[in-house]
Amino acid sequence: MPLVLGLGLSSARSQMMVAFIPVLFFPRKLSKSEQNYDVGNRELLAVKLALEEWRHWLEGSKTPFLVWTDHRNLEYLKTAKRLNPIQARWALFFSRFNFTLSYRPGSKNTKPDALSRVFEAKEQDPEEERGFILPDTVRCAVSRLGLEREVRESLGSFQISDTCPKDRLFVPPQLRPRVIEFCHSSRLYGHPGIYKTLQLIKSQFWWPSLAKDVGEFVAACSPCSQAKASRRPPSGLLRPLPVPSRPWSSLSMDFITGLPSSDGFTVILTIVDRFSKMVHLVPLLKLPSAKEMGFILAKEVFRLHGLPSDIVSDRGPQFVARYWQEFCAMLGISVNLSSG
């Protein structure tokens, strides 16, 4: 159901509508009951769903906006003398928006039109496809042989410790992380614990600090730490947050980290108004302290939108610090920490 929304109807017409750039796409499958709609109701459903999705931007707007559709009959919706029950029910919803429906053929409405087409993948012979797929066990065995060969070649004139068992292969320092990673993180072994990883390496390899290195590697393994069973007591019942009554009265904040450096900035602070969903993105050189957070909010939010009544955040060190708690209490701001 190709559909385009455009703000500023009068200005768009005066500019011949040549400067529109897509900023949002909204995909959705039809439910079983919606699949029984005729073509007209399906096309009208696309308009209704789009207005619902972006209601917080469009409802109550004094500036009229334009809705392009590739179904010409929708242009006569507002002037039709008789509507079917579905259209009559939706007409009440449409009355809350200041928009005009305009017909635009699919040939000129290419981006939304392309999204409504069914993608047909090229069929492939299952026998041909199977011929190029190796079982994971074969891949891991080949990788282990390659790793063993690389260790042997790297020894060269390397002085091997006298304490190395004769039935095991000594691993030079530069290859030890690779050996541990293979025996712990490969698909064949699937992140075993410290003891099992140590036994897998000991069956073929050796070096003096083997046990210490394996323990440090497994302790720092991100997938293992995420899958580890929680030792904390069970949490209490979740309490839903109340719906804000006005814009910028309730904020939620979080950090985006692990980004490549851009002009020295590596962190983004996201500040979201829970009422309108408006977002402020603040680039930062590093994660700020609790004191720096106060200056950032004063500059980026308070001077523009006033003081909020509450702030929702995770339990990062900035937000559980005593300075942050006292700063918010002094301004009359309630601090809500997430349960995660």
Residue 185 CB partners (closer than 8 Å, separation 6+) = 191, 221, 223
Q: What is the pLDDT of residues 37-63, one digit of tens each?
A: 888 888 888 888 888 888 888 888 888
The answer to whether 61 and 98 are in contact (CB under 8 A) is yes
Dihedral, CA of residue 231, residue 213, residue 138 and residue 124, to nearest 10: 60
Query: Distances from the Cα of 57 to the Cαs of 17, 198, 334, in angstroms?
Result: 21, 58, 27
Got the DSSP string for 294-335? Answer: HHHHIIIIIHHH---SEEEE---HHHHSHHHHHHHHHTTPEE
What local confidence, expressed as pLDDT, does residue 300 receive?
93
State the residue for tokens 């790297």.
154
**What superfamily does domain 34-119 belong to in CATH?**
Ribonuclease H-like superfamily/Ribonuclease H (3.30.420.10)
Alpha-carbon gap, residue 143 to 186, rounded angstroms: 10
Of 3-17, 58-72, 308-322, the range with the lowest mean pLDDT is 3-17
Query: Are domains 144-227 and 250-337 of this chain identical in fold?
Result: no
Across 96-100, 136-140, 142-146, 254-258, the highest mean pLDDT is recorded for 254-258
CATH-assigned architecture of domain 144-227: Orthogonal Bundle (1.10)
Measured CA to CA, the distance from residue 115 to residue 26 in angstroms comes to 10
State pTM to two decimals: 0.36
Helix-, strand-, coil-residue percentages of the chain, each rounded to 5: 40, 15, 45
> Does the pLDDT at position 11 exceed 50?
no
Least confident of 68-77, 133-142, 178-187, 271-280: 133-142
pLDDT at 16: 45
Q: How many CB atoms lie within 10 A of CB 204?
A: 16
8 A C-beta contact, residue 94 and residue 51:
yes
According to the model, what pLDDT value does residue 9 have? 38
Domain boundaries 250-337, CATH class:
alpha beta
Mean pLDDT of 178-183: 86
- pLDDT for 15 equals 41
Query: What average pLDDT does the segment 193-211 reach?
Result: 88
Q: Is the model's pLDDT at 301 over the cut of 80?
A: yes
Structure confidence at residue 120 (pLDDT): 60
